Amino acid sequence: MFDLTGRTALVTGAGQNIGAGIARALGAAGATVLVNDLRSERAEEVVEALVADSHAAVAVAFDVTDRAAIDAAVAEAGPIDVLVNNAGNGGAEAMLPKKFADTDPDDWRGPMEVNLQGVLHCCHAVLPGMVERGHGRIITISSAAGTHGVGIGFAPYSVGKGGSLSLMRSLALEHGRDGITANSVALGIMDSVRAETAAALTKTIPVGRLGSPDDVGAACLWLASDEAGWITGQTIGLNGGAFTS
């Protein structure tokens, strides 16, 4: 249904799981996908799989916290039509074994640098070209932690993800007349959770299953398409009906 032929899409953190699912969806729609990951071997594995399915893809390794490396990669790749900010630190490794009052600046550095500052860097790198061409799609993968909060130990992660939501709304207001849309996808509980907790978590989801990378890829494909050109500044809750209040 959605055709991205002739478009170039940069998907950060696409060397596995959700990012790989997004890359597959955009590649299947005809986009040339720049598969980013911090580890080049992971990006290359995803590219090999995409190429095997007759999709166009290139591995692009950089750290989203390194603005100079991002600028160099974007300059080498050429015009970016679609940016999907997927890279982030989350899950069990994002939780701190302490309450907010007991945190210190070092506890906040990683989540903020990746989940917010990394999004800022990538947007800065691609926006001038999008403005010049009068077209662009920016999609940021956020979390229910950014819209609702998810409990003790997640304050730095929640703030980083929440900040990225605000950034998308700001970019939507600033660049709507430039032909650029900016939206967020706030994820609920995904199927990458630990097996021992999956069954219990599934019971909390109205549709009765956890989310998959293909679910996220489908949402991103829609937001990247021309058909979603009147959708901007929005946060799409991709959560199976959970986190609706």
CATH number, residue 135 = 3.40.50.720
Per-residue pLDDT, averaged over 227-240, amounts to 96
242, part of any domain: no
Within the chain, what is the greatest distance between any pair of CA atoms? 52
20, part of any domain: yes
Nearest-angstrom CA–CA distance, 28 and 137:
17
Local confidence band at 245 (pLDDT 50, 70, 90 cut-offs): low
Local confidence band at 72 (pLDDT 50, 70, 90 cut-offs): very high
22-47 residue pLDDT tens: 999 999 999 999 999 999 999 999 99
Angle, helix 155-175 to helix 118-133, in steps of 10 degrees: 10
Active site (annotated) includes residue 136: no
2, part of any domain: no
Q: What is the DSSP string of 189-223?
A: -BTTS-HHHHHHHHTTSTTSS-B-HHHHHHHHHHH
106-156 residue pLDDT tens: 888 888 999 999 999 999 999 999 999 999 999 999 998 888 877 788 888
124, part of any domain: yes
Residues in Cβ contact with 26 at an 8 Å cutoff, skipping those fewer than 6 apart: 4, 9, 11, 33, 82, 84, 217, 220, 221, 224
**In terms of residue numbers, what domain contains 233?**
8-237
User: Residue 91: what pLDDT?
Assistant: 53
3, part of any domain: no
244, part of any domain: no
245, part of any domain: no
89-110 residue pLDDT tens: 765 556 677 888 998 888 888 8
Catalytic residue among 157, 167, 190, 219: 157
0.75 surpassed by pTM = yes
User: Residue 93: what pLDDT?
Assistant: 56
243, part of any domain: no
Per-residue pLDDT, averaged over 220-226, amounts to 98
Q: How many domains does the chain have?
A: 1
Sign of the Cα pseudo-torsion (209, 189, 47, 45, in order): negative
